[in-house]
Amino acid sequence: MIRVALVLLFALGFHVSSISQTVGKIPKDVQRIIFLGNSITYSGQYISFVETYFRLNHPDRGLEWINVGLPSETVSGLSEENHAGGAFPRPDLQERLDRVLDQLSPDLVFVNYGMNDGIYLPLDRERFQKYKDGINWLDEKIKGINAQAIFVTPPVYDPKKGSAYANVLDNYSDWLLSRRYTDGWEVIDIHWPMRKYLEDQRALDSTYFLAKDGVHPGEMGHWLMAKEILLGLGEAEVQDFNGIQEAIASFANGEEILALISQRQVLLRDAWLSATGHQRPGITEGISLKDAELQSNEIESKIKGLLDDQK
């Protein structure tokens, strides 16, 4: 039944993703925004792109954008046998979420899970249910602190690396999109736009890829993710841009501001991951929050100076 539904949804997928894509502008009472997710979020380029473009367009909005993505993590609580060669099981968001929410007290939470949650195996009802249960649990946790959640569909898994797992993420994405209509959730679709872009490029060049390993996108993939998030936040003009450089080209000091924001994103990510704690080995130890705040403030002063130059 799921596979039959997928055929129908795939045929409609690119149309479905365009319906009610906009979740709306960031409310005025929002101050702190955090991003939860796995290694794609941890790498953070799409977050830096979103923050940079938003700040260039809204230089007077003093929002905090904090990345607390963790490589290998799932919201389903699942892990492969012998994951990472047996070195460690996949970290489970449930282990750390309360600490993250308690210490960061976000007003808005972007959620991007799914890529790891099917643990790279073919579609299975029990694993699918674990993903659904994890997402529902996370939604309740975010509501419990009176924060707003924006769910983001999983990035595309390259079908050339495994059509069965690409099918898994198609299904996970369509289920998440359905929550817009069944429960009024705010959901931004990056999956189907990325899949369409990949297929369009493959029609021109069969060797094209967004992610060399099928999972972790390069700069263009991160731009496609950022673009859909920005569109979802009402930044309609990004529809015509083919990359972050093109998007910020008309702004004075755009490249310098992007570099500074990217630097600060890494600084704060590492500090907050260390401060809130996790069970994922091999993650760079962050400096203390006190020292990170001092360095962050110095970078912010430079950013504000550059933003003032464009007024």
Domains of the chain: 25-309 (3.40.50.1110)
Question: Is the distance from CB of 187 to CB of 174 less than 8 angstroms?
Answer: no
Residue 23 confidence (pLDDT): 80
pLDDT of residue 13: 44
The span from the CA of 117 to the CA of 126, in Å, is 11
Q: What is the mean pLDDT of each run of 10 residues along the chain (311 residues)?
A: 39 43 85 98 98 96 96 98 94 98 98 98 98 98 98 98 98 98 97 98 98 98 98 96 97 96 98 98 98 98 89 60
Sheet containing strand 64-67, edge to edge, reads: 64-67, 32-37, 108-112, 148-152, 187-188
Closest listed residue to residue 78, CA positions, set 114, 108, 112: 114
Evaluate whether 155 touches 165 at the Cβ level (below 8 Å).
Answer: no
Cα 14 to the chain's mean position, in Å?
A: 20
Give the per-residue pLDDT at 4: 35
Strands 64-67 and 187-188: what pairing? unpaired
Residue 195 pLDDT: 98
Kind plus residue range of the DSSP H or E element containing 194: helix 191-204
Residue 9 and residue 174 in contact, taking contact as beta carbons nearer than 8 Å: yes
Global pTM?
0.93
The whole-number pLDDT of residue 2 equals 41
